[in-house]
Structure 1
Amino acid sequence: MATPRDFDPACEDPAEVAGRLGVDPDTGLDASEAEARLQAHGANELRPASRVPFWRRVVAQLADPLIVLLLAAVVVSVVAWLVEGAHGWPIDALVILAIIVLNAVLGLVQESRAEKAVAALAVMTRAHSTVLRDGELRTVTSDELVPGDVLALAEGDRVGADARLVRANALRVAEASLTGESLPVEKDPATLDRRVPLGDRHDMVFAGTAVSRGTGRAIVTETGMATEMGAIATMLDETVEEPTPLQVEVAHLGRMLGRIVVAIAIVVMLTVTIVQGVDTPSGFVTVLLLGVSLAVAAVPEGLPAIMSLVLALGVQRMARRNAVVKKLSSVETLGSASVICTDKTGTLTTNQMTIQRIVTASGVVDLGGVGYAPVGAATSKGRELGDGPLRAEAQLVLGAGSLVNDAQLAEHDGVWEIEGDPTEAAFLVAARKVEGAAEEAARYGRVGEVPFSSERKMMSTAHRHEGGDVVVLSKGAPDVLLQHCTRLQVGDRIVPLDPVRRAHALAEIEALSEEAFRTLAVAYRPAPELAGRPPGDPLQADAAGPDEIAEEDLVYAGVVGIIDPPRPEVRPAIAEARAAGIRVVMITGDHPATAARIARDLGIIGEDGIALPGARLDGMDDRQLRDAVRTVSVFARVAPEHKLRIVDALQAEGLVVAMTGDGVNDAPALKSADIGIAMGITGTEVTKEAAKMVLADDDFATIVHAVREGRVIFDNIRKFLRYLLYSNMGEVLTVFLGVVFAGALGFAGASDEAVVLPLLATQILWINLVTDSGPALAMGVDPEVDDVMARPPRGLHDRAIDLGMWIGIATTGIVIAVATLLTMDAFLPEGLIPGGTDTFETARTAGFTTLVFAGLFTAFNARSATSSAFRSVFANRWLWGAVALAVALQVAVVSWAPLQVAFGTTSLDAAHWAVCVAMASSVLWVEELRKLGIRAVARRRAARTTGPGATGPSVGAPASGIADTRPR
Structure 2
Amino acid sequence: MDPIGTVAHPWSEAPDGLAARLGTRLDAGLSEAEAERRLAAHGPNELAAEPPVPAWRRFLARFRDPLVYLLLAAIAISAGAWLAEGAPGWPVDALVIAMIVLLNAGLGFVQEAKASSAVAELAKMSAVTSSVLRDGVVHRVPSRELVPGDVLLLAEGDAVGADARLAVATALRLQEASLTGESAPVTKDAAALPADTALAERRSMVFKGTAVAQGTGRALVTATGMGTEMGAIAGMLEATGDEPTPLQREVGRLGKVLGVAVVAVAVVVMATLFLFADIGSLGDAVTVLLLGVSLAVAAVPEGLPAILSVVLALGVQRMARRRAIVKRLASVETLGSASVICSDKTGTLTRSEMTIQRVATASGTSRVTGVGYVPEGEVLAADGELPPAQRAEGIVVLSGGSLAGNAQLSEDDEGGWEIQGDPTEAAFLVAERKLGVHERRGRRFERLREIPFSSERKMMSTIEVDHEHGGERVLIAKGAPDVLLRRCSHERVGMALVPLDEAARARILGEVAAMGRDALRTLGVAYRALAPGEEEAGDAELEQGLAYVGTVGIIDPPREEAAVAIAEARRAGIRVVMITGDHPDTAARIAADLGITAGSEECALTGRDLDALDDAGFDEAVRRVSVFARVAPAHKLRIVDALQAQGNVVAMTGDGVNDAPALKSADIGVAMGLTGTEVSKEAADMILADDNFATIVDAVREGRGIFDNIRKFLRYLLSSNMGEVLTVFLGVVLAGHIGLTGADGALVLPLLATQILWINLVTDAGPALAMGLDPADDDVMARPPRRLDERVIDGRMWSGVLQVGLVMAAATLLTLDIHLPGGLMEGSRDLDNARTAAFTTLVFAQLFNCFNARSGSASAVHALFTNAWLWGAVALSALLQVAVVHLGVLNTAFNTVPLDAGQWAGCIAMASSVLWYGELRKLVLRSVAAGRGGDAGRRGSAGAGA
| TM-score tier after normalising by the smaller chain length | 0.7 to 0.9
User: What's the CA shift string for 1:764-822, capped at 9, x where partnerless?
Assistant: 11111113333223222233455212222222332222223222212211111111111
Q: 3-state DSSP class of the match of 1:919?
A: helix
For residue 838 of structure 1, what is the amino acid of its counterpart? R
Q: 3-state DSSP class of the match of 1:734?
A: helix
Q: Is it true that 1:720 corresponds to 2:713 in the alignment?
A: yes
Residue 192 of structure 1 is matched in structure 2 by none
Q: Is it true that 1:743 corresponds to 2:736 in the alignment?
A: yes
Which of 790, 793, 801 matches 1:801?
793
User: What's the CA shift string for 1:626-678, capped at 9, x where partnerless?
Assistant: 66543443444555565455445544544333333333444454455444444
Which of 924, 928, 953 matches 2:919?
928
Aligned-residue offset at 1:736: 1.2
Deviates more, 1:849-858 or 1:86-95: 86-95
Residue 348 of structure 1 is matched in structure 2 by 349
User: 2:891 and 2:296 mapped to 1: Cα distance?
Assistant: 24
User: 1:101 and 1:618 mapped to 2: Cα distance?
Assistant: 55
Residue 652 of structure 2 is matched in structure 1 by 659
Aligned-residue offset at 1:467: 3.4
Residue 265 of structure 1 is matched in structure 2 by 266
User: What's the CA shift string for 1:78-112, capped at 9, x where partnerless?
Assistant: 23433444564552443443344334333432334
Q: Summarize the Cα distance change of 1:415–1:646 in structure 2 as closer, same or farther, 3 Å threshold.
A: same
Q: Is it true that 1:399 corresponds to 2:425 in the alignment?
A: no
User: 1:109 and 1:851 mapped to 2: Cα distance?
Assistant: 36
Residue 491 of structure 2 is matched in structure 1 by 488
Residue 846 of structure 1 is matched in structure 2 by 837
Which of 833, 848, 862 matches 1:857?
848
Q: 3-state DSSP class of the match of 2:358?
A: strand
For residue 892 of structure 2, what is the amino acid of its counterpart? V
Superposition pairs of residues 306-455 of structure 1, within 5 angstroms: 306-381=307-382, 384-413=384-413, 414-436=415-437, 443-446=444-447, 450-455=451-456
User: 1:737 and 1:825 mapped to 2: Cα distance?
Assistant: 13
User: 1:625 and 1:110 mapped to 2: Cα distance?
Assistant: 43
User: 1:314 and 1:753 mapped to 2: Cα distance?
Assistant: 54
User: 1:320 and 1:482 mapped to 2: Cα distance?
Assistant: 52
Deviates more, 1:513-522 or 1:588-597: 588-597
Residue 560 of structure 2 is matched in structure 1 by 568
User: 1:621 and 1:656 mapped to 2: Cα distance?
Assistant: 24
Contact kept? 1:324, 1:695, Cα under 8 Å:
yes
Deviates more, 1:238-247 or 1:803-812: 238-247
Contact kept? 2:393, 2:492, Cα under 8 Å:
yes
Superposition pairs of residues 16-31 of structure 1, within 5 angstroms: none
Q: Is it true that 1:557 corresponds to 2:549 in the alignment?
A: yes
Contact kept? 1:409, 1:416, Cα under 8 Å:
yes
Deviates more, 1:613-622 or 1:551-560: 613-622
For residue 736 of structure 1, what is the amino acid of its counterpart? F
Q: Summarize the Cα distance change of 1:516–1:687 in structure 2 as closer, same or farther, 3 Å threshold.
A: same
User: What's the CA shift string for 1:893-912, capped at 9, x where partnerless?
Assistant: 12222212211222222232
Q: Summarize the Cα distance change of 1:160–1:428 in structure 2 as closer, same or farther, 3 Å threshold.
A: same
> What 5-or-longer segments of structure 1 have no aligned partner?
1-28, 37-47, 130-139, 146-156, 165-174, 179-196, 208-219, 534-538, 947-968
For residue 923 of structure 1, what is the amino acid of its counterpart? V
Contact kept? 1:785, 1:864, Cα under 8 Å:
no
Aligned-residue offset at 1:762: 0.8
Kindly tell me the number of residue pairs found equivalent between the two proteins: 825
Q: Is it true that 1:699 corresponds to 2:692 in the alignment?
A: yes
User: 1:585 and 1:51 mapped to 2: Cα distance?
Assistant: 41
Aligned-residue offset at 1:727: 1.4
Which of 55, 58, 74 matches 2:68?
74
For residue 206 of structure 2, what is the amino acid of its counterpart? G
> What 5-or-longer segments of structure 2 have no aligned partner?
1-10, 19-44, 81-90, 138-148, 155-165, 177-182, 190-201, 215-228, 938-946
Which of 190, 194, 206 matches 1:224?
206
Contact kept? 1:244, 1:333, Cα under 8 Å:
no
Q: 3-state DSSP class of the match of 1:565?
A: coil
Q: Summarize the Cα distance change of 1:56–1:774 in structure 2 as closer, same or farther, 3 Å threshold.
A: closer
Contact kept? 1:356, 1:367, Cα under 8 Å:
yes
Deviates more, 1:712-721 or 1:610-619: 610-619
Residue 194 of structure 1 is matched in structure 2 by none
User: 2:650 and 2:854 mapped to 1: Cα distance?
Assistant: 28
Residue 500 of structure 1 is matched in structure 2 by 503
Q: Is it true that 1:105 corresponds to 2:113 in the alignment?
A: yes
Residue 15 of structure 1 is matched in structure 2 by none
Q: Summarize the Cα distance change of 1:453–1:670 in structure 2 as closer, same or farther, 3 Å threshold.
A: closer
Deviates more, 1:613-622 or 1:629-638: 613-622
For residue 53 of structure 1, what is the amino acid of its counterpart? E
Aligned-residue offset at 1:270: 4.1
User: 2:814 and 2:634 mapped to 1: Cα distance?
Assistant: 66
Aligned-residue offset at 1:443: 4.1
Q: Summarize the Cα distance change of 1:404–1:105 in structure 2 as closer, same or farther, 3 Å threshold.
A: closer
Q: Is it true that 1:289 corresponds to 2:290 in the alignment?
A: yes
Residue 518 of structure 1 is matched in structure 2 by 521
Deviates more, 1:347-356 or 1:808-817: 347-356
For residue 708 of structure 1, what is the amino acid of its counterpart? R
Q: Summarize the Cα distance change of 1:943–1:895 in structure 2 as closer, same or farther, 3 Å threshold.
A: closer
Which of 727, 742, 748 matches 1:734?
727
Aligned-residue offset at 1:759: 1.0
Q: 3-state DSSP class of the match of 2:854?
A: coil
Q: Summarize the Cα distance change of 1:279–1:792 in structure 2 as closer, same or farther, 3 Å threshold.
A: farther
Aligned-residue offset at 1:831: 0.9
Q: Summarize the Cα distance change of 1:722–1:802 in structure 2 as closer, same or farther, 3 Å threshold.
A: same
**Larger relative CO (CA 8 A, sep 6+): 1 or 2?**
1
Residue 768 of structure 2 is matched in structure 1 by 776
Q: 3-state DSSP class of the match of 1:374?
A: coil
TM-score, normalized by length of structure 2? 0.76
Residue 50 of structure 2 is matched in structure 1 by 53
Q: 3-state DSSP class of the match of 2:737?
A: coil
TM-score, normalized by length of structure 1? 0.74
User: 1:507 and 1:256 mapped to 2: Cα distance?
Assistant: 74
User: What's the CA shift string for 1:884-939, capped at 9, x where partnerless?
Assistant: 22222212212222212211222222232222122111112121122222233333
User: What's the CA shift string for 1:814-868, capped at 9, x where partnerless?
Assistant: 11111111111111221111x2112222211111111111111111212222222
Q: Is it true that 1:766 corresponds to 2:758 in the alignment?
A: yes
For residue 229 of structure 1, what is the amino acid of its counterpart? A
Which of 582, 591, 597 matches 2:574?
582
Contact kept? 1:206, 1:227, Cα under 8 Å:
no
User: 2:690 and 2:890 mapped to 1: Cα distance?
Assistant: 54
For residue 895 of structure 1, what is the amino acid of its counterpart? H
Residue 474 of structure 1 is matched in structure 2 by 477
Contact kept? 2:837, 2:907, Cα under 8 Å:
yes
Residue 42 of structure 1 is matched in structure 2 by none
